[in-house]
Chains A and B, each alone.
Chain A
Amino acid sequence: MTTSNYRIHGATGEWEVVIGLEVHAQVTSNAKLFSGAATAFGAEPNSQVSLVDAAMPGMLPVPNRECIRQAVRTGMAIDAEINAWSRFDRKNYFYADLPQGYQISQLYHPIVGEGSLTIEADEKAGIPADKVIGIERIHVEQDAGKLMHDQHPSMSYVDLNRSGVALMEIVSRPDMRSPAEAGAYVRKLRAILRYVGSCDGNMEEGSMRADVNVSVRRPGEAFGTRTETKNVNSVRFVMQTIEHEARRQVDLIEDGGVVVQETRLFDPNTGTTRSMRSKEDAHDYRYFPDPDLLPLELDADFLAECRASLPELPDAKRRRYVEALGLTEYNARELTAEVETYARFEQLLAETAAKLGKSEKDAATQVANWSLSVAPGVINALGAEANPANATAAAQAEILAMQAAGEISGGQAKEIFEIVLRTGREPAEIAEAEGLKQVSDTGAIEAAIDQIIAGNADKVAEYRGGKDKLFGFFVGQTMKAMQGKANPAVVNQLLKEKLDG
């Protein structure tokens, strides 16, 4: 494994930072982990609360099969060991957002064991080579509710909509050595979750948040004491937390202090962390197996269904784009980074190839360039005038097919797409009606060339005398005469024939 060269430069020398992340990812499911209540974001407070979520007397949890399935599929996506036998434990503590007085979690026997993911080399970010980050475990647990402190001058309100929502806690090994690696890890994990469909990865809505464990040490020495910064909710904040926390710890140690194991909070406004509670006043959670639930036993059919339902994952897809479709590494990475991006690309590629009667491989580079640079350029330039709903795969495939057939130029393709975005009209109709077609009719082009040759006898003589550079002049004159609508390839070919012939 290539080591990161990221270092904190302290007054007494260089320090290495060691990072582990615990990512909490909300499982995509219609119902909560142990109750039938809904999980939609942004609902009226306490409108998605069952008797179980409110911990009414005598209520019992019943595991939601879909949540379990999503956790298993996620585990399979990171090549992890799936534990066919796992168990739920109670983590006991009192807080107003925790109706049961305990969180149902999995301490002793998690559903998913050891796995890993690979972050890609990124020279600019200081990641010299691909790096495998170990994942220790994934367990499923209930989310808590939410306290609202701004509703009343002297009381806090509690919203239990989130209470009981299923979370996956994905615990990495302390394998990361720079903020960039941690950022790449979160992005990669997010991509995998979104590919699998087990979490929407929406960090703004709190569907994904990270507890960031940071320690510092002299390169090569034993791990230092770590701090844990809770509930960091964006990639940028994760990186800021690490930068700040590593710097703080180095300064502390170099000033003769000692890092204490503690829980900290990140303040997005200042980019700094502050102490929440130290190990001394840490809770004794009194974990024990939840006696309301039997051990979770997964049978072979269930596991087989989970595996069969997995989509092509980011690494495999990227490799296929390069190897089977002939795309560049860069294009392959860009196209596979997000589910929406590859989904749009693959649909457009299929439609374009079908229209062209070509293989996907033969159409792939054109479609990739269109998807990554041409189309986004047009959309961005139009801004609010563009109606994204008009950018259907069918319309774009039609434009690409016309371009590939030489009927329109690259510039015309952009112009047509612009009109499509504004109006939703048919690309072929636009090309026709707006005169956005290039002329490949050799007769018309030949006539124009003949006229230019006749009117520029001196230049023709010079060209034929060896002044090759004048070829560009004739191209320009022909295009001008054709009002820019001539197919450049045809113009080139005919000019060559007539001048050289």
Chain B
Amino acid sequence: MTDLTELGVKAIRDGVASGDFTAREVAESFNANVAAAQDALNAFIVATPEKALEAADAVDAARARGDTLGKLAGVPIGMKDLFATKGVQTTAASHILEGFVPEYESTVSANLWRAGAGMLGKLNLDQFAMGSSNETSYFGNVISPWRKEGSNAGLAPGGSSGGSSAAVAARLCPAATGTDTGGSIRQPAAFTGISGIKPTYGRCSRWGIVAFASSLDQAGPMVRDVTDCAIMLEAMAGFDPKDSTSLDLPVPEWEAGLDPDLRGKKVGIPREYRMDGTDAAILKSWDDGIAWLRDAGAEIVDVSLPHTKYALPAYYIVAPAEASSNLARYDGVRYGLRELPQGANLQEMYAATRAAGFGDEVKRRIMIGTYVLSAGFYDAYYNQAQRVRTLISNDFKAAFEQCDVILAPTTPTASFPLGDKVDDPLAMYLNDVFAVPASLAGLPAMSVPAGLNADGLPLGLQIIGRAFDEQGVLNAGLAIESRAGFDARPKRWW
């Protein structure tokens, strides 16, 4: 029998449906991989093998009864520990929420369970989704399954969805949820040679996802290929009346609409993304991507996104501003950590709790956010950043008059060694320089593997589409995927 953990979402779904193997066999195989890799990779904060088996048994029973099976029937997945899961600890990788067990299930995870998926465990991440290397988790770094050729140094799996990217790349799960505020799906997908899509803002409900920056946060799938992206996103997305910013639109049949033939389509190449300091290998992969899309029938056009250089500064004002307010609820009063020094009053309890409960990066962003919203600075920072955000949206609108999708690198470099940038926040923030503009504009964007660099590390290409046009993004991704022939995988060392 083949190793079931070699299979992706589609293969598992179809195999379970046709009776080639049972959902229970699938869940057991992945449970075993999760357990075997935990010490080395630290991808999970909590493993829930019993949940995976329970869901699998329900699918097997449904199949035995002849019931119609869900879109993800029999597919065990990893759940980023930013999604509230009823009865299972939900921490956002923070000390302040350590031990917090929600009484409710996030809309996206509930959608996935309803589609027949099962939960392998809660995946590690950067604390409160703030970080680009998964080094800010209270529960320790996630180690990328990838290594540079000839080196045993631990590499960053990307962030904030670093547990998700590492787990999918290492075959600990066929699929994982991610969330993307300023690249947190795309950058880790690129670093680990997997596919991930951030849909249009509002496609996936934010209800029950621990908030980082409300106007930017979007959930999306992290999987092995473009088809699996389409399948899983269909299961995650949908209008939710509990989220005022949710899109009241039907969920398209993205899987059925997949088509790598790009004849008649125009692909925009934004000249401002050719930035100084971008890795030569990245630029080479970009050129490869252009050639592949041309080969798929697309016309390549030069487009301009003139305000690109302001995107990262604007993002690092808007996101921390929202975060500083969103994270005010972690105050030690109602749930989570409470630090109560002897004789402390309310203010002292707040200070002690938040000092102990938040990591340095979270504190840094709370302070930045508090600063940019404070009296006297609000106009100069927050309002100015909002204006920049509008300009960036307008840039994309203008570009999409000339093209259907935009092709760009996902990241300026391949993965870097853990510890390399941890003391230099600005260098760390630069990781998201290509990812952030689409986040600010709320546009669908995905990363697909393009190849390996000289060190044998994966590189990703990013496709950005018009609002609501996930299909166009997925199709361009499929065109690249089918030409890139990316079949590299980390050598198992764990």
Chain A CB within 8 A of B180 CB: no
Given contact pairs A57-B84, A101-B328, A293 touches B350 in the complex (Cβ within 8 A): no
Tell me if B331 and A94 are in contact (CB < 8 A).
yes
Q: Interface on chain A toward B: helix, strand, loop, or mixed SS?
A: loop
A90→B242 contact, CB < 8 A: no
Instruction: Decide if B325 touches A102 in the complex (CB within 8 Å).
Output: yes
Q: Does A488 contact B (CB under 8 A)?
A: no
Please report the C-alpha to C-alpha distance between residue A95 and residue B370 in the assembled complex, in whole angstroms: 17
| B311 at the A interface (CB under 8 A) | no
Q: Decide if A96 is an interface residue (CB 8 Å cutoff).
A: yes
Q: Which residues from chain A contact B92 at a C-beta distance below 8 Å?
A: 57
**Mask: chain A, 276-294; 1 = CB below 8 Å from B; 0 = not:** 0000000010111001111
Chain A residue with the shortest CB-CB distance to B207: A60
B102 contacts A292, CB within 8 Å? no
Check B211 for interface membership: any CB of A closer than 8 A. Answer: yes
CA of A55 to CA of B328, assembled, Å? 10
Which residue from chain B places its CB closest to the CB of A61 in the assembled complex? B244
Q: Mark A45-67, 1 if CB is under 8 A from B, else 0.
A: 00000010011111111110000
Partner pick for A96 among B100, B346, B370, CB 8 A cutoff: B346
Residues of B with C-beta under 8 A to A51 = 103-104
In the bound complex, how far is the Cα of B374 from the Cα of A445, in angstroms?
A: 90
Given known A94-B328, A288-B321, contact A62–B244 (CB-CB < 8 A): yes
Contact A92 B328 (CB under 8 A): yes
* Cβ-based interface call for B375 (8 A): yes
Assess whether B329 is in contact with A57, with CB atoms less than 8 Å apart. Answer: yes
**B217 nearest CB neighbor, chain A only:** A291
A99:B206 contact, CB within 8 angstroms? no
A284-B374, A288-B373 in contact; A56/B104 too (CB < 8 A)? yes
- Would B374 and A94 count as touching, CB distance under 8 A? no
| In the bound complex, CA of A398 to CA of B331 (Å) | 65
Is A158 on the interface with B (CB-CB < 8 A)?
Answer: yes
0/1 interface trace, chain A 138-180, chain B, CB 8 Å (1 if under): 0000000000000000001010000000000000000000000
A99 to B332, CA, bound (A): 10
Would you call B242 and A62 a contact (CB within 8 A)? Answer: yes
Determine which of A59, A61, A286 lies in contact with B370 in the assembled complex, contact meaning CB atoms within 8 Å. Answer: A286
Q: Please, which residues of chain A bring their CB within 8 A of the CB of B104? A: 51, 56
Q: Are A102 and B328 in contact (CB under 8 A)?
A: yes
Among A56, A63, A90, A100, the one with the most B-chain Cβ atoms within 10 Å of its Cβ is A56
B328 touches A291 (CB 8 A): no
Known: A102-B328, A284-B375. A56 touches B206 (CB 8 A): no
Q: Which residues A72-119 have CB closer than 8 A to chain B?
A: 90, 92, 94-96, 99-102
Q: Which of A60, A63, A101, A294 sits near B329, CB closer than 8 Å?
A: A101
CB atoms of B210 and A60 under 8 A apart: no
- CB closest residue in chain A, given B82: A58
Tell me the bound Cα distance from A137 to B245 in angstroms.
27
Q: Report the bound CA distance from A294 to B211 in whole Å.
A: 16
Q: In the assembled complex, how far is the CB of residue A189 from the closest CB belonging to chain B, in whole angstroms?
A: 31
Beyond A58-B209, A60-B206, A292-B245, whether A96 also contacts B333 by CB under 8 A is yes
Choose one: A101, A288, A294; the contact of B244 (CB below 8 Å): A294
Q: Mark B145-172, 1 if CB is under 8 A from A, else 0.
A: 0000000000000000000000000000
Chain B 230-271 interface 0/1 with A at a Cβ cutoff of 8 Å (1 = within): 000000000001111100000000000000000000000000
A58 touches B211 (CB 8 A): yes
Instruction: Flag if A56 contacts B207 (CB, 8 Å).
Output: no
Sorting the interface of chain A by its residue count into under 10, 10 to 19, 20 to 34 or 35 or more gives 20 to 34
A54 and B211 alpha carbons, distance in the complex (Å) = 15
* Contact across chains for A58 and B106 when beta carbons are under 8 A apart: yes
Could you tell me the distance between the alpha carbons of A57 and B90 in the complex, rounded to whole angstroms? 9
Complex: chain B residue closest to A94, CB-CB: B350
Given contact pairs A58-B206, A62-B241, A62-B242, A286 touches B374 in the complex (Cβ within 8 A): yes
A336 to chain B, nearest CB (A): 40
Among A416-444, those with CB < 8 Å from B are: none
Q: Which residues of A contact B331 (CB under 8 A)?
A: 94, 96, 101
Contact call A57/B244, Cβ cutoff below 8 A? no
**Are B322 and A291 in contact, with the CB atoms below 8 A?**
yes
Is B378 in contact with A293, judged by CB distance below 8 angstroms?
A: no
Q: Could you say which of B208, B214, B347, B373 contacts A292, with CB atoms under 8 Å apart?
A: B214
CB proximity of B235 to chain A, nearest CB, Å: 19
Are A158 and B374 interface neighbours, CB within 8 A?
no
* Contact A294-B325, Cβ < 8 Å, known A158-B333, A284-B374: no
Report Cα–Cα, A293/B245, bound state, in Å. Answer: 6
Chain A residues with Cβ below 8 Å from B215 are 291
Shortest Cβ gap from A466 to chain B (Å): 91
Residue from the list B103, B243, B374 in contact with A60, Cβ < 8 A: B243
A61 and B211 alpha carbons, distance in the complex (Å): 13
Q: What CA separation (Å) do A95 and B349 show in the bound complex?
A: 11
B97 at interface, CB cutoff 8 A: yes
Contact of A100 among B322, B328, B374 (CB under 8 A): B328
Instruction: Verify if B213 is at the interface (C-beta below 8 Å from A).
Output: yes
Q: Which of B210, B213, B374, B382 contacts A57 (CB 8 A)?
A: B210
Most buried by A among B210, B324, B325, B374: B325
Within 8 Å CB of B106, what residues of A?
A: 58
Tell me if B334 counts as interface (CB < 8 A to partner A): yes
Q: Which residues on A sit within 8 Å (CB–CB) of B84?
A: 56-58
Bound state CA distance, A51 and B210, in angstroms? 13
List residues of B (311-332) whose CB comes within 8 Å of A's CBs.
Answer: 321-322, 324-325, 327-329, 331
Indicate whether A293 sits within 8 Å of B244 (C-beta atoms), given known contacts A58-B106, A284-B375, A286-B373: yes
Q: How far is the CA of A59 from the CA of B211 in the complex (A)?
A: 8
Distance A58 CA – B102 CA, assembled complex (angstroms): 10
Q: How far is the CB of B390 from chain A (nearest CB, A)?
A: 13
B439 to chain A, nearest CB (A): 13
Does A54 contact B207, Cβ atoms closer than 8 Å?
no
By beta carbon, the residue of chain B nearest A286 is B373
Q: Are B325 and A57 in contact (CB under 8 A)?
A: no
Smallest CB separation, A89 vs chain B (Å): 10
Measured between beta carbons, the chain A residues less than 8 angstroms from B214 are 291-292
Interface string of B347-380 (1 = CB under 8 A from A): 1001000000000000000000010011100100
For residue A284, which residues in chain B have a CB less than 8 angstroms away from its CB? 374-375
CB < 8 Å neighbour of B325 from A59, A62, A101, A293: A101
A156–B208 Cα gap in the complex (Å)?
29
Query: 17 additional contacts, CB 8 Å, given A57-B211, A60-B206, A286-B373?
Result: A57-B90, A58-B83, A58-B208, A60-B207, A60-B244, A61-B244, A94-B331, A95-B346, A101-B329, A284-B375, A286-B324, A288-B325, A288-B373, A291-B214, A292-B206, A292-B245, A294-B244
Enumerate chain A interface residues (CB-CB to B < 8 A): 51, 54-63, 90, 92, 94-96, 99-102, 156, 158, 284, 286-288, 291-294
- 20 A–B pairs (Cβ distance < 8 Å), ordered by A: A51-B103, A56-B104, A57-B97, A57-B102, A58-B211, A59-B207, A62-B241, A94-B331, A101-B325, A101-B327, A102-B328, A286-B325, A286-B370, A286-B378, A287-B373, A288-B325, A291-B213, A292-B206, A292-B244, A292-B245
User: Closest 10 CB pairs between A and B?
Assistant: A101-B328, A286-B373, A291-B214, A291-B215, A55-B329, A58-B208, A57-B210, A292-B214, A284-B375, A58-B84
